C-alpha cells in the first residue's frame, strides 16, 4: 500500500477530527476550551489540506484520492463521533448512505477512466487512418 495511500487516509482522518472538534464547541462552558477547539479545528484543516495536496501528487488519478479520502472521512466520522458524543452507533440508514456515496464515487471514477481510455483509442485510430491514407 505504501505511504502514497497513507496521505489521503491521513487527510480524511484530519477532516473527520476537525468536524468533530467543531461539533464539541457548543458543549464548552469555558472560553479557553473554545479557543483550544477552534485552534484544533484550524490546525486539523491545515493538516487535511496539506496531506490532500501531497496525495494528489503521489497518486496517479484524482478520483483515487477523492475515493480514499472521503471514504476515510465518512467512516472515521461515524466511528469517532459515537465515542466522543457517547451516542449509540449510527443507524443502518446512515451506513447505507455512506456506502452508497463511496460506491457512487467509485463508479464515477471507473467511468472517468473509461472516458479517457475511449478518447485515447479514438486518437490512436485517427493516427492510424492518417497513416493509411
Cβ pair 33, 94 in contact under 8 A: no
5-58 residue pLDDT tens: 899 999 999 999 998 888 887 787 888 888 998 999 999 999 999 999 999 888
pLDDT of residue 5: 84
Alpha carbon distances (Å) from 22 to 63, 78, 80, 113: 27, 15, 13, 36
Least confident of 45-54, 78-87, 121-130: 121-130
In this model, does residue 89 exceed pLDDT 70? Answer: no
| Confidence label for 132 from pLDDT (cuts 50, 70 and 90) | low
| Confidence label for 133 from pLDDT (cuts 50, 70 and 90) | low
pLDDT of residue 126: 67
Between CA 57 and CA 82 the distance in angstroms is: 33
Between CA 64 and CA 85 the distance in angstroms is: 31
In this model, does residue 115 exceed pLDDT 60? Answer: no
Between CA 129 and CA 97 the distance in angstroms is: 48
Alpha carbon distances (Å) from 109 to 3, 12, 57, 105, 118: 21, 18, 17, 6, 14
Amino acid at each position: 500500500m505504501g505511504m502514497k495511500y497513507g496521505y489521503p487516509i491521513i487527510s480524511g482522518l484530519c477532516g473527520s477530527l476537525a468536524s468533530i472538534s467543531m461539533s464539541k464547541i457548543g458543549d464548552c462552558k469555558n472560553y479557553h476550551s473554545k479557543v483550544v477547539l477552534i485552534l484544533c479545528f484550524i490546525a486539523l484543516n491545515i493538516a487535511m489540506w496539506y496531506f490532500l495536496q501531497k496525495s494528489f501528487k503521489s497518486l496517479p488519478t484524482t478520483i483515487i484520492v477523492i475515493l480514499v479520502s472521503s471514504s476515510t472521512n465518512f467512516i472515521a466520522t461515524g466511528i469517532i463521533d459515537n465515542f466522543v458524543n457517547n451516542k449509540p452507533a449510527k443507524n443502518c440508514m446512515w451506513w447505507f448512505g455512506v456506502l452508497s456515496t463511496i460506491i457512487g464515487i467509485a463508479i464515477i471514477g471507473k467511468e472517468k477512466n473509461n472516458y479517457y481510455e475511449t478518447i485515447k483509442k479514438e486518437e490512436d485510430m485517427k493516427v492510424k487512418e492518417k497513416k493509411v491514407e
